[in-house]
Structure 1
Amino acid sequence: MLRFDVFMETRDRHLRFQALREKHLFPFRGEISVQSAGQLPVYCDLIQNLWKQETALDRFRGQHTFQELWYHIVKHAHFSATDSGMALERARAHMEEHYSENVTIEQLARIAEVSPKYFVDLFKKTYGISAMDYLAELRISRAKQMMVQSHAKLRDI
């Protein structure tokens, strides 16, 4: 089991790092199965040994090795449809990419690999808003952005 925090660089008066605690800011949460363990135990042992070292350079190498480990995990990951959080994130990402198209519950349910009824219930329970209301809010938000940032006519937007 791996536990780690992800930090995002923030710039105000000083360079700071803020932990990403919100689910939508980091794409992976929960259990990820990997089809081939391969080098994973070697990476884990090396990270553990480097983390215990006194020198900052060795600890830095441990961080680098962790990134290699993470790359290996993501590259060889098998995402299961049973992970409802990941399934919903895939559907929500599809909505954000294709908001200007005709998006249906059936399409989103296929992307999430669940039944349409279950998708509707799960989306509402998870995000507190229906999928179609979320899509409408997304479209309105993008239209507002376009009105502010472009010189396009309102009817074109």
Structure 2
Amino acid sequence: MKPTYKMILQNYFHRFQADVSMAAFSDIHPDWNQTEIPDYYRYWYIRSGEGWLVMDDHKYVVRPGCLYVLPAGSAQSFGTDSNAKIEIYWCHFRAAIGDLELFQQLKFPISVEIHDRKYIETIFERMILAYHSESLTRELRLRSAMLDLMAAYLDHCNFNEVTGEGIELLEKMDPVLHYIEEHLTENIMVDTLARIAYLHPNYFIGFFKNVVGCSPIQYVNGRRLEIAKRLLEETTMSVTDIAKQVGMQNHYLSRLFKQHIGLTPSGYRKLYRMSAANGNGIKEGSGELT
């Protein structure tokens, strides 16, 4: 997968929000069937038994160990044969249309075969428990389980080199992000980025934010910070030289570090090296914080 596509998808999944409207476990008896056009998305996980699913004129065998993601707005028929029953975990969820736009265009598989079945069952059990809870933290626990479920599904989707090809949103943004990477030390103008995407500047900012998840300047600053962090970790360059390397004034780089990381650049370097010397990553409470 192209690095720019991976970056866009990571940002997309970072900001994705979905609300669980129902979660349950069902024991479906033999010779049962149902047809509907749901206005919500749903996950199914088959614990035991087999059945069938017809969607978009294609028939699928529903079998144990598979996690299914069924889209809203499509006609779906589901059933069991006369001599079979199914045990199934399931949930319904909704998300804003804008949040689902890229997800729909990527055409992820209807189902994936799960390697760790107990782990998926545990996620659904957490979700069902949270759904029936009256706790103040109910929505947080529902959302946590939902995100764990989505991450498990995506981990089994087998992203490869062609993932994202043919997706207009990604292909239009690819040259823009490539240009940014090649010109991080320069003053990057929105008008220039808009021309690369063949969009009007006034429309481009909203388009960029919708696809990438932040404004162009926020994205550029984020990339500069990532490079500055790597240089602080891997080199002995002075903070002033690192600031020049990423196209920033020294004081502006320090301000961004304090805003986003809570440390000055020199404080970050000192903390990183202390932690590395101890064989650990950066941990809260180790070293000085200024």
Task: Give the TM-score normalised by structure 2.
Answer: 0.28
**Higher strand proportion (structure 1 or 2):** 2
**Higher helix proportion (structure 1 or 2):** 1
Task: Give the TM-score normalised by structure 1.
Answer: 0.50
- Larger Rg belongs to: 2
